[in-house]
Structure 1
Amino acid sequence: MQVTKKFHSTMNIEEILGEIIDALHTAYPSFLVHLLLSQEWKVKADIPTKPLTYGEETGNKIVEHAYLTGDIQIDQTGERMTLYVPLRGKQGVYGVMEIKSSQTVILPRSEIDFIQMLADTGGNALENAELYQQSRNLIHDLQLINETSHQLNLNLRLADTINFMVQQIIESFGAEHVGFIMFHPKGESTVLEGSTELFLKEDTQVKLDSLITKMKREKDPIYFGDLESQEKQYLTEYKSMLVVPMIQSNELKGMVLAVHRLPYYFTFENFKLLQSLVHHSTLAFTNSMLHEELERLVITDHLTKLYSRSHLDERIQDSMYKDGQGAFLLLDIDNFKLINDTFGHQVGDDIIIQVANVMKKNIRTDDIAARWGGEELAIYLPRVELSIAITIAERIVQTVAIETSPRVTVSIGVSHWSAYKNPPSLDHLFKEADQALYRAKETGKNQVVVSDWNKEKGMEGV
């Protein structure tokens, strides 16, 4: 009764295992006791335990028989006796107690029955503690999945979604690096921004090519306990790896990887939980990508892949609200009608694309290049002085004349606003650039002309 009270006063497996040893030492102080456990429970260093092995040449057949049948086994070697007593619960056997007599002893059947009863009490307590821990883990996993799903549905931005998921996986599983790789219809693969730095390296992406091919072919989750033992190691510094496919509507969208330097770092429960997380998050990823693709289509010109004029207007208005100055460049392809008449409209479209590519190569990430209409293109340079804007415009004029085929030239009109020298006005900015462009066309083409209004205000910059 005392032992039963102790066993059922705690749900800590480590404490229960210690109580089993203490109870046997109290009842039989001269016996040597070891616990042979079937599961990798964490125990104190002073609790005598051994791993329970069976089905191997090195295994003890008597121990194996006790574990598989659930019956006490007695090994009488000479005058000394060894008992192998299974730790039985209602749903299974959780280990075997090895009880060795240190001297000649003969145990009556009643003592053996008492030991078995003690073992069963411990086995039931172990089972209850294990089920309790499993239920807590399950609750934690469900809470994690619920929280993840809730957060993913709050935000449609893909970068935010990836950052959130990477942090969840690192915190929940202790992964050192996490990568999200998306597969595209034409066969190429992309590591999504927000993945940790390991997966953003070019050499890492090359090393993962064969793994990506394997995932596309088999579409199955993969658990690598120790990559060093694998024929193909993929990432030589990292031994543990979890790979989970991202599948939506039976279509493979990509895969998620989590890695750690230590072998067998991730448990199989980690592997199953990651599959659940990825399963619940794939729809959110797909929706985020569709949402951003739709946004891109709305604000992007189909032919040139430059921004649309409406998006350009919005960005300039925003700049005029928060920046101190900015420059507007309006470009026109010289003699464009002649190009169309001579080479056809398809070549004309290709010329517009070539000029657009020159523009994109000569501006910063924060600058906005847009299609203004027809063969007219535009660039807005936020927080840029007029002199710098003129330098950029002249560089574009020179580059277009060299790099286009068939060879064409462009004329550029430049206007500039400053919160200190002239009040910002969107329409005025456009009008001044348009007039400057008109003068550039009328006075020889293939040149840059600055707005007269800027010159009058002492803002010519050159």
Structure 2
Amino acid sequence: MSNELTQRLNQSLRLGDIFQFAFEELLEMFGADYCCILHMNEEKGGLEVIACNHSSLQNEILEVGQGLGGKVYTTGESLIMSNYIDNPNTTSRLMNATGSQSLIATPLSVGGEVRGAIMLAHRDAHYFSYDNYRLLQAMAGHIGLAVGNARLHAEVRRLANRDSLTGLYARHYLDEEIKERQSTDFCGCLIVVDIDQFKMVNDTYGHQKGDKILKEVSEIVKSSIRQGDIAARWGGEELSVYLPLMGVEQAVNVAERIRKRVMNETEPNVTVSCGIAEWSWMDERVSVESLFYRADMALYKAKNNGRNQVIVDTKENGGGVKGLPHK
């Protein structure tokens, strides 16, 4: 059973799969009625019930230190309880909700740091033996190692998909996302954003200041779009934003918001030019390359028209541009 658990854990590097595998195997291995796996969620500020076969507890957020699971997490010490009813000063949502009497629990450690807790419960009193208690501790080590590998893999993927200077997505990630969206969505818009006369900024203030400006503009772009939109560094001083399921008029509003904020919030002040291209399911041929090409041509027109403006590509006659100059 131990080998089977380890093999199943190593089948995937997805955190959700690992917790589900562990949950299923532990229930079978120990003959428990209930299994509850808690994992620290910093964003939500507590221990999240990541896997549990009692529906009322699934996805609940528990305060650190609350209940028996919180105690195991806080103290970092394993726990065995033979008869819950004999411990009136102890409270546990899992035990109360399921009417269980026996419990074994152990901290879930990842890379030497306690990141959660594993709890197994049974309705009968005195169900779990001391050997069960020690075995769960051993199994938690295997699970923690798998969770650590999954977290490391996720971090490597995150870094591979991000630009190190700006924190925006890398262009290859944006390309893949647009292709994926085009297979499921019915429309979308691409904005290409270019910092005007960026070479002059570098020549005047130095490359460190130029990097600072690029970061400032990137932060403005990120904070000017929706959660589901994708902002990437296209290359050099050019950034790009893909807006899923958004029409061109809305995209112009987004681009204008970015343009105005850059003009007013950067130090030293710089401006940006924006080119916009859209696609829809009615287009005969949709490709990421053609979408970028059309947005880039609109950007080129914005540059030639005097910079600090938004230009929208039009698809008539093979792709022209129409200007929306804003000075």
| Cα offset, 1:456, TM superposition | 7.4
2:179 aligned residue: 317
1:305 aligned residue: 167
Number of residue pairs matched?
304
1:363 aligned residue: 225
The 5 A counterparts of 1:80-95 are: none
Between the two structures, name the one with larger relative contact order (CA 8 Å, sep ≥ 6): 2
What is the TM-score when the length of structure 2 is the normalising length? 0.73
Structure index of larger Rg: 1
1:59 aligned residue: none
**In structure 2, distance between residues paired with 1:155 and 1:272:** 26
Structure 2 unmatched runs, 5+ = 97-102
Maintained 8 Å contact 2:73/2:114: no
Maintained 8 Å contact 1:304/1:352: yes
Task: State the AA in 1 paired with 2:89.
Answer: S
The 5 A counterparts of 1:272-311 are: 272-311=134-173
Maintained 8 Å contact 1:237/1:261: no
1:424 aligned residue: 286
**In structure 1, distance between residues paired with 2:178 and 2:129:** 53
The CA deviation string for residues 227-267 of structure 1, in whole angstroms up to 9 with x for no partner, is 8636xx7x78867672324265xx34633243879997983
1:258 aligned residue: 119
1:229 and 2:89 equivalent? yes
1:377 and 2:234 equivalent? no
| Cα offset, 1:177, TM superposition | 4.0
1:173 aligned residue: 32
Partner SS state of residue 390, structure 1: helix
Choose 391-400 or 292-301, whichever is displaced more. Answer: 391-400
The CA deviation string for residues 29-79 of structure 1, in whole angstroms up to 9 with x for no partner, is xxxxxxxxxxxxxxxxxxxxxxxxxxxxxxxxxxxxxxxxxxxxxxxxxxx
| Cα offset, 1:201, TM superposition | 6.1
Q: Among residues 13, 20, 23, which one is paired with 1:163 in the alignment?
A: 20
Partner SS state of residue 162, structure 1: helix
Maintained 8 Å contact 1:179/1:199: no
What is the TM-score when the length of structure 1 is the normalising length? 0.54
**In structure 2, distance between residues paired with 1:237 and 1:353:** 47
The CA deviation string for residues 110-166 of structure 1, in whole angstroms up to 9 with x for no partner, is xxxxxxxxxxxxxxxxxxxxxxxxxxxxxxxxx3x3432222121111222123334
Maintained 8 Å contact 2:46/2:62: no
**In structure 2, distance between residues paired with 1:331 and 1:266:** 64
| Cα offset, 1:373, TM superposition | 0.9
**In structure 1, distance between residues paired with 2:305 and 2:122:** 68
Task: State the AA in 2 paired with 1:258.
Answer: M
Task: State the AA in 2 paired with 1:229.
Answer: N
1:204 and 2:63 equivalent? yes
1:151 aligned residue: 8
Partner SS state of residue 192, structure 2: strand
The CA deviation string for residues 158-180 of structure 1, in whole angstroms up to 9 with x for no partner, is 22212333455567534474212
Task: State the AA in 2 paired with 1:255.
Answer: G
1:340 and 2:199 equivalent? no
1:386 and 2:243 equivalent? no
RMSD: 4.0
1:242 aligned residue: 105
**In structure 1, distance between residues paired with 2:154 and 2:34:** 29
Partner SS state of residue 166, structure 2: coil
Q: Among residues 206, 210, 215, which one is paired with 1:353 in the alignment?
A: 215
Maintained 8 Å contact 2:192/2:276: yes
Distance 1:354 1:170, change over 3 A: farther
Partner SS state of residue 330, structure 1: strand
1:326 and 2:185 equivalent? no
Distance 1:302 1:359, change over 3 A: same
The CA deviation string for residues 275-300 of structure 1, in whole angstroms up to 9 with x for no partner, is 23212222222222222222222221
The CA deviation string for residues 163-222 of structure 1, in whole angstroms up to 9 with x for no partner, is 333455567534474212389xxxxx986794569696666248598865643xxxx434
The 5 A counterparts of 1:128-147 are: 143=1, 145-147=2-4
Maintained 8 Å contact 1:332/1:410: yes
**In structure 2, distance between residues paired with 1:408 and 1:210:** 54
**In structure 2, distance between residues paired with 1:356 and 1:263:** 58
**In structure 2, distance between residues paired with 1:262 and 1:366:** 44
**In structure 2, distance between residues paired with 1:243 and 1:384:** 48
| Cα offset, 1:436, TM superposition | 1.0
**In structure 2, distance between residues paired with 1:191 and 1:282:** 16
